[in-house]
Every structure is written in structure tokens, then in C-alpha cells.
Amino acid sequence: MHTIGFIYPDHAAEDDYPYAEQLLEGTASAAKLVVEHIYGTDLHAVAELMDLGSPAKLADGAAKLAKHSPTAVVWACTSGSFVYRPDGAAEQARKLSEAAGVPASSTSFAFTNAAQALGVRRVAVAASYPEDIAALFEEFLSHHGLKVVSRTSAGIDTAAEVGRLRPDEVVALAAANDHPDADALLIPDTAMHTLRVVPTIEERIGKPVLTANQVTVWEGLRLAGLPQRAEQLGALFR
């Protein structure tokens, strides 16, 4: 069985990954989803996020994953990748692959790759971040050919606060910030528990929903050459 390694910042919603592993059991997509942590300030601010996603910290994460012999590695952090801007995020993933010795990516690229796989071009963004950080996510998406038709910011300063959102609060945030012109709704932040509510949100708004931990798992499977199939993980996995 393949092992996919995820480098996760601090602690917030990492329990989404064992849940995804459970859903994949007994399918052609089955894999061990292993999470190792790196640490830093969990503030949604540019300087802190750039420190969190620095080459040294990601190399430390790759070293922690080495004992698991992963087939692929994903930096499970959206803001800690797109904050480097498009070229910097690509270089970040390249250096992570070099450090890990296997194919590597990040949640930011997972979003753009997943949107492409679904044929999505126009998106709404419901971000937990402050406005300036949400704007950088829009810039990243736009650089990769996606049209952001609406962008909202919940203005939550820390990942810890995001991780404490209840399922009904996540659903309400999503449903309130869709846009009729969007082909899909994107919810960026691996600190947010979303995997259990993706089907509920999709049913509520009637279109695909892409969330940070969902696309990160999908990206890991893609890099490992495995099918990306799981009925309970939304349109992306169907």
C-alpha cells in the first residue's frame, strides 16, 4: 500500500486526514495518509506565514516523514504556500520535492489542479483569512487561469480559531458566500474541519465545493498515481 506524507502546520484540523484514510479503505484509492507536524506562529499574516513555509521548516517536515517512506509529500497549508506568490510557491514545492526525494506539492497547487480536473473556470472564494491574505489567494488562482467572481473574508486571525469552528458554522460560512456565477466554491484553510461537511455544503448550494484538506488529500493521491475516488468526499472525488 502507498503511503502519502502530509506536512501539517501546528494543530487544528489534522484529524481530517485519518478520516479520509478511513473513507478510502477497501477501495482502489486506499493509502496510508501520514501526518507530521512543523511549528510556528499560527497568525494569518504575511511574515509569519512565510516563516512557516520556509525551506528549512519544510525540510524538517520532510525529514520527519522519511521514516514512513512516502510515495509523495504534500505541504498541507494553503496560506503558507500562496503567500510566496505564484513563482515562489512553485519553487517551494520544488525544494520540498528535493528534500523529500519524492514528488511534492502544496495545498495551493492542489486547489488549482483540482479545479482544472473538474473543468472549473469561475469560482467563489469563502476564506477564513483576513482580507489581505485572501487577496493573495485570489492572485494565485488568477495566475493559474481561474476567474474569481467573488471573494469574502471572515477575518479570523489565527489557525487555532478556525479549527474551533463547529460543523454548522462551516456550512453557514460556505452557504452564505457562494455566488450564482461561480462554477464551484473554494474554501481555503487546512485549519478548518471540512471533510465531514463537504456533501452537506454541495447539496445546499448545488455545485462542487473544494476545501483545503479535501484537495490536499486528492493531490497526494494524484502524485502517488492512485485513483481519486471516494463517494463521501464530494464531486471532486466522484
Residue 60: pLDDT band (50, 70, 90) is: very high
Query: Residue 1: its pLDDT value, please?
Result: 87
Q: For 122, list phi and psi in degrees, rounded to 5.
A: -115, 125
When the pLDDT of each residue in the chain is averaged and rounded to a whole number, the result is: 96
224 lies in the same domain as 173: no
The Cβ of residue 70 has, within 10 Å, a number of other Cβ atoms equal to: 28
Indicate the pLDDT class of residue 41, thresholds 50, 70 and 90.
Answer: confident
Q: For 102-112, what is each residue's pLDDT tens digit?
A: 999 999 999 99
Is the same domain home to 191 and 154? Answer: yes
Residue-level pLDDT at 203: 97
In a shared domain, residues 205 and 115: yes
Grid cell digits, residue 3: 503511503
Instruction: Give all strands of the β-sheet with 184-187 in edge-to-edge order.
Output: 147-153, 122-127, 184-187, 209-211
Same domain, 104 and 137: no
213 neighbors 17 (Cβ within 8 angstroms) = yes
Q: Is the pLDDT of residue 3 over 90?
A: yes
**Same domain as 104, residue 54:** yes
Are 76 and 35 contacting, i.e. CB atoms less than 8 angstroms apart?
Answer: yes
Same domain, 103 and 218: yes
Domain count, the chain: 2
The CATH number of the domain holding residue 12 is: 3.40.50.12500
Q: Are residues 94 and 138 in the same domain?
A: no
Task: Kindly indicate the confidence band of residue 229, based on its pLDDT and cuts at 50, 70 and 90.
Answer: confident
Same domain, yes or no, for 97 and 127? no
192 with 219, same domain? no
Helices and strands (H, E) in the chain, number of each type: 11, 8
Q: Are residues 126 and 72 in the same domain?
A: no
| Residue 68 sits in the same domain as residue 23 | yes
Q: Do 32 and 71 fall within a single domain?
A: yes
Q: Which pLDDT tens digit goes with each residue over 150-165? A: 999 999 988 889 999 9
Q: Which domain holds residue 226?
A: 3-108+214-237
